[in-house]
Amino acid sequence: MLRALALLPLLLPLAATAGSPFLPSRAQFDALFPERIAFYTYEGFVEAVRQTPGFADADSDTERRQEMAAFLGQIAHESDQLRAQREYRRENWGNYCRDDARLSCAPGQQYYGRGPIQLSWNYQYKAAGDFLGIDLWADPDRVARDSTVAWRTALWYWMTQPGESRAPAHAALRGGQGFAATTRAINGPLECDKPGDAEALRKNKRRIDFYKHASQMFGVPLLHPLGC
């Protein structure tokens, strides 16, 4: 009986009503990311979700949970289980400036991966900042200093950016294209449609494993296809 009671917090997400987002409980969040660094606060995550209309707020409670599971599964891979505040490979930090007639790079700034989804490139920082109403082009490191901003950039990408796919991850899920379509929107050219590429297959499996774990915790069925 005591053992069952000890597990109870994992089964109690924050209450959601129709039209409001599903939010995992703090205990669930901690269980999904047991080694996360202090920067990725639960409070920052919750605030960012509440500032993102449309995310994980479908009419069906199951669909709300499924989108949250897919998002957190992808985030777990992208951020090394919320342990990567900034891109690990410092040798690549200066490689993300597309300086052309449309957009330059701010003096002294670098646009390497930061945050839960590892936001990269000057044009992505500019677009995310414009959407959020803050200047991330001039101050890209704010994504690695402000937890809520970091989470909001990840949700901005999830909701609005198709990458090399036909639709952003959010729209692809709502359109019934499965978890595979979210991977395609995030990193399609490097990981999808490569059956003979061992590294691409490894990364795809890692995303799927994280997604399965979150889906099991939230008590919802998987959205197939899983692999892209």
What residue segments make up the domains of the chain, in order of their start? 2-84+147-218, 90-144
Q: What is the pLDDT averaged over residues 72-91?
A: 96
Give residue 100's pLDDT.
Answer: 86
Residue 13's pLDDT band (boundaries 50, 70, 90)?
low
Do 2-84+147-218 and 90-144 show the same overall fold? no
Q: Which residues are catalytic?
A: 78
DSSP string across the chain: -HHHHHHGGGG-PBP--TTS--B--HHHHHHH-TT--TTS-HHHHHHHHHTSTTTT--SSHHHHHHHHHHHHHHHHHHTTTTT-SB-S-GGGGGG----SSS----TT-----BTTTTB-SHHHHHHHHHHHTS-TTT-GGGGGT-HHHHHHHHHHHHHH--TTSSS-HHHHHHTT-HHHHHHHHHHHHHHSS-TT-HHHHHHHHHHHHHHHHHHHHHT----S----
In CATH, the architecture of 90-144 is 2-Layer Sandwich (3.30)
Tell me: the pLDDT tens digits for 144-191?
Answer: 999 999 999 999 999 999 988 899 999 999 999 999 999 999 999 899
Mean pLDDT to the nearest integer, 88-109 = 93
Q: What region does 219 belong to: left with phi over 0, alpha with psi -120 to 50, or beta?
A: left
User: First vs last Cα of the chain: how many Å apart?
Assistant: 43
**The pLDDT value given to residue 164:** 85
Only one residue has tokens 């395609």, namely 184
pLDDT at 99: 87
Q: What is the pTM of this model?
A: 0.90
Q: What is the largest CA-CA distance in the chain?
A: 67
Question: What proportion of the chain, given as a percentage, has pLDDT over 90?
Answer: 86
- At the top level of CATH, the class of 2-84+147-218 is mainly alpha
Q: Which of 67, 82, 83, 25 is nearest to 170 (CA)?
A: 67
Q: How far apart are alpha carbons 32 and 36 in whole angstroms?
A: 9
Contact of 85 with 39, CB cutoff 8 Å = yes
